Amino acid sequence: MNLKEFAKHINLSASTVSRAFRNSHDISMETKERIWAKAKELNYQPNPLASSLRSQRTKTIAVILPEIANNFFSLAINGIESIAQEQGYHVLIYITHEDGNKQEAFLNSLQSGRVDGILISLSNSEAGKVPAELANKLPVVYFDRVPQDEEVLRVTTNDYESAYMATEHLIKKGCRKIAHFYFELHLSISRKRMDGYLDALRDHKIPVNKKLLLDCTRESHSREQIRTLMQSANRPDGIFSSIEKFALQTYEVCAELKLGIPEKVKVITFSNLQTASLLHPSLTTICQPAYDIGQKAASLLFQKLSKKQGSVSKKHFILSSELIERGST
């Protein structure tokens, strides 16, 4: 039985039936349920691939992100997913594992119409952004790790201000030798955090010591780098970490070296760790609004997908992070 024949059975137009199967908002819930019940009764299954070809809509969005075993990204996905569900969309998730080549391969595989739109947080590399040919074809919204490009639609937290605030927090707590653990300066998020750190030091007339700037991009090395720094003559009395992981490694290293936190060294980090308050000592964090960032990015994408295509004139949406002071500072 094809769609037309099925529609005849239920005395409705093929277009109504088709929209009901796409769960369109145009069709009342009552009609949809009547159609679905009839389909069940007659064991009729619409073919979604064929219907996608006709409507040119896959009802699917892609989310591309560096990793998933990470509180920021898993919360952001929950936010994205809550919006997609409202819109009757499916979410395809791609994990790049910080590999620029994988990111490129995923994007290539999306070239030919597998999804209607893309949400992406860039991988930790020089891979760069979505190629123009793809971005011309599909709406794209970047979140968190966005390219250095004023023209793209993007949602981030206030990275510069948060980093400034974190550094100033350490200064106010008496720290003078403040280290910054960062990753991948190719990402604008990392540069903004670095700038916030440097400007806070400058405004408080604390000279920059380059030996306290730790590039932890090679993640397999970061723990050893932190250990070396903490055993050196340049041991910092405060650490501002750009990434949760490096702060946790600092905790491990300090436990091994019997360096008390916060007595010997104070620690603050960007983090969405649920257990931050239960750590020993509890961890002072800059907490990003991860769920809200996901929701906002998804909302923008659907705005672009809807008829109001021209309506997103603002390009950069900034949601504020929050400093939560705990035992580590």
Binding site for a copy of itself (CB under 8 A): 45-50, 52-53, 58, 60, 67-71, 74-75, 77-78, 81, 90-95, 109, 111-114, 248, 251-252, 255, 273-275, 277-282
Q: Output 109 or 320, the one with its CB closest to a copy of itself.
A: 109
* Tokens representing residue 311 in the block: 């309506």
Is the CB of 220 or the CB of 274 nearer to a copy of itself? 274
Q: How far is the CB of 321 from a copy of itself (least distance, A)?
A: 18
Q: What minimum distance in Å lies between the beta carbon of 211 and a copy of itself? A: 26
Q: What is the nearest approach in angstroms of a copy of itself to the Cβ of residue 68? A: 5
Q: What are the structure tokens assigned to 329, written together?
A: 């500072």
List CB contacts of 171: < 8 A, sequence separation 6 or more: 178, 200, 201, 204, 206, 238
How far is it, in rounded angstroms, from Cα 45 to Cα 36? 10
- Complex with a copy of itself: residue 36 or 218, whichever CB lies closer: 36
CB nearer to a copy of itself: pick between 124 and 188: 124
Q: What is the spatial distance between Cα 113 and Cα 192, in angstroms, rounded to a whole number? A: 35
Q: How far is the CB of 105 from a copy of itself (least distance, A)?
A: 9
Is 63 in contact with 94 (CB distance < 8 Å)?
yes
- For residues 75 and 187, which CB has a smaller minimum distance to a copy of itself in the complex? 75
Residue 128 near residue 163 (C-beta atoms within 8 A): no
Closest CA to 216 of 190, 255, 235, 192: 190
CB within 8 Å of 230: residues ≥ 6 apart? 236, 250, 253, 254, 257, 259, 265
Residue whose CB is less far from a copy of itself, 48 or 171? 48
The dihedral through the CA atoms of 290, 292, 293, 297 has a sign that is positive
CB of 218 to a copy of itself, least distance (A): 19
Smaller CB separation from a copy of itself, 28 or 111: 111
Smallest separation (angstroms) from a copy of itself to the CB of 65: 11
CB of 147 to a copy of itself, least distance (A): 22
> Cα 299 to the chain's mean position, in Å?
14
Please, which residues bridge with residue 94 across strands? 64
